[in-house]
Chain A
Amino acid sequence: MIRRRSGRGRLLLLVFLALCIVIITLDFREQAGGPLERARNFSLAIVAPIQKGITTVTRPIGDFFSSVGDLSHLRTDNARLRTEIGNLQSQIDQARSVIGENAQLRREMNLSASYVTARRVFAQVDGRVPSNYKWAVFLDKGTQDGIRTDMAVVNADGLVGKIVQATPHTSTVLLLIDPQAGAGARVQGIGDTGVIQGQGGSESLKLSFISPNANVSVGDSVVTSGYDRGIFPPQIPIGSVNHVSVSGAQLEKVITVTPDVNFTSLDVVQVLVGSGPHHHGKHRHGKKSH
């Protein structure tokens, strides 16, 4: 079946091994805006449309199968939801006036804007990165919609992560559970601030740098502090404390946190397009949108 000799095969192996090592070296030395960043954007631009196609086809199929069983509830659900819409509409009207009032008061008091009222772009999750050691997802919106790197991403439950790559029509979110992700955090009701970090596999977060004297107990809620180069606005829900212990040697509390967001079933997320360091005048994203 195969009749080629491996003489040139060995030469080819050496050539491609050398090429790999050159690329790895380039990657280690790369600054923002280098050739590898362009290659990253290029490969995302190739794969993203196919991912979107696959997701568009497979999602309705899953929805159909899960809804067939629910047919009998549809009528009662419908009636219940109609009354709920009425209630919510009046609550929205109320909230609108409160938001306006809040914004005015914040201006008068010189407080920074709350994340709740921040400008946001809604995006659909179109798949996760093809690796078992990275926790990140692809979105169907990009720089054309105002998304830039280092912007905060949330959903209805709380903090999801931050944008690490943005091309014109797609972007990548590094999830908070990734070991390389982190955010300034504080335990609600306690002055101490710390850093929340992902731990990968276990999907439980680690809260560090909280002083051992701080009165933290299981069930306390954890929110962003806003003290991290200005990526994450303050008061975004992160999760609730599930375990507290004091490590004797390090003189600090070991706190683990169950995230509010269910990272295995992300669907629609919101990118806070007003957030991120560029918003405060420091441009570090090194990406010229063209």
Chain B
Amino acid sequence: MASARSRGGLFPQVGGGRTAAIAAILVGALALQSTVVAQVTLLGVIPQLVLIVVVSLAFTDGPRVGVVTGFAGGLLQDLLLPQAIVGLTALVYVLIAFAVGSFREYSTTESVWAPVIAVALSSFVAEASYALLAVILGQPWVSFVFTTKVIGLVVLYNTLLTPLLFPLIRRVADRFRPERVHRW
């Protein structure tokens, strides 16, 4: 994708290998979200793994990497949905990633629960605003009960998956981090 290619130029400190690693994580998360995860989850609601990846990277790398990842991940997800509004998930994820990344720059917390709380809050805001914007822009509205169920379960699933996925994402992203001293 064009955004992935231009990223090396926009962020010399990010590097090509790292861009590829992040792109691979996004595509992998999307593929998992539509296969295994979709089959094993209860009540027909699937977790939003791409959002976990976006928030995790915004959390570890700050708003700039977060914004670009949110745009790429959200757009890729939008493009796979038939008759959906292309760019809406990207818009929501870009805003969420910027908020999480900026908050992270000003907070000094080292709590292991911080990323979990960040994903829980982000999932709620992202799902609720997506549902609202989609309906405003003319997508079909199923029912209030259904939307509430989806939002509640996505927040639950995403929150439960973060302790597993966050360390994994951070490790893969760190491995390809160029010229930077970092802790393991």
Contact = CB atoms under 8 A, between A and B. Distances in A.
B163 interface: no
Interface in B84-130: 84-88, 90-91, 94-95, 98, 101-102, 104-105
A133 B62 contact: no
A199 B48 CA distance: 22
Interface of A: 1-2, 4, 6, 8-9, 12-13, 16-17, 19-24, 26-28, 36, 39-40, 42-44, 46-47, 50-51, 54-55, 58, 126-134, 136, 138, 164-165, 172, 174, 179-180, 199-202, 264
B79 A13 contact: no
Instruction: Name, among B36, B75, B137, B150, the residue most crowded by chain A CB atoms within 10 Å (CB to CB).
Output: B36
A201 B146 contact: yes
B134 A133 contact: yes
B173 to A, nearest CB: 13
A179 B138 CA distance: 12
Given A47-B30, A129-B82, A16 B134 contact: no
A1 B63 CA distance: 13
Lowest 9 A-B CB distances belong to which pairs?
A23-B87, A179-B140, A200-B142, A201-B146, A20-B91, A50-B31, A24-B87, A43-B79, A127-B35
Interface string B6-48: 0000000000000000000001101111111011000011101
Interface of B: 27-28, 30-36, 38-39, 44-46, 48, 50, 60-64, 67-68, 70-71, 74-77, 79-88, 90-91, 94-95, 98, 101-102, 104-105, 131, 134, 137, 139-140, 142-143, 146, 149-150, 154
Contacts of B83: 134, 164, 174, 180
A36 B85 CA distance: 11
Contact of B102 (A6, A16, A134, A202): A6
Contacts of A131: 46, 77, 81, 84
Contacts, number: 167
A235 B122 CA distance: 47
Query: By DSSP majority rule, is chain B's interface helix, strand, loop, or mixed?
Result: helix
A215 B77 CA distance: 45
Given A54-B31, A132-B46, A24 B85 contact: yes
Nearest to B83: A180
B55 to A, nearest CB: 15
Contacts of B74: 20
Contacts of A8: 64
B31 A23 contact: no
A43 B90 CA distance: 14
Given A19-B71, A129-B81, A132-B46, A36 B98 contact: no
A134 B35 contact: no
A66 B156 CA distance: 28
B44 A2 contact: no
A1 B137 CA distance: 40
Nearest to A40: B79
B87 A201 contact: no
Given A9-B63, A47-B80, A23 B142 contact: no
B87 A50 contact: no
A240 B17 CA distance: 55
Given A4-B62, A9-B64, A50-B27, A179 B86 contact: no
Given A131-B77, A200-B142, A9 B31 contact: no
Contacts of B44: 201, 264
A36 B86 contact: yes
A133 B139 contact: yes
Nearest to A173: B82
Contact of A51 (B34, B63, B84): B34
A23 B63 CA distance: 22
B34 A129 contact: yes
Contacts of B68: 12, 16
Contact of A50 (B28, B64, B75, B90): B28
Contacts of B86: 23-24, 26-27, 36, 39-40
B142 A51 contact: no
B109 to A, nearest CB: 11
Given A43-B76, A129-B81, A132-B45, A12 B67 contact: yes
Given A9-B63, A51-B34, A54-B31, A20 B71 contact: yes
Nearest to B90: A20
Contacts of A39: 79, 86
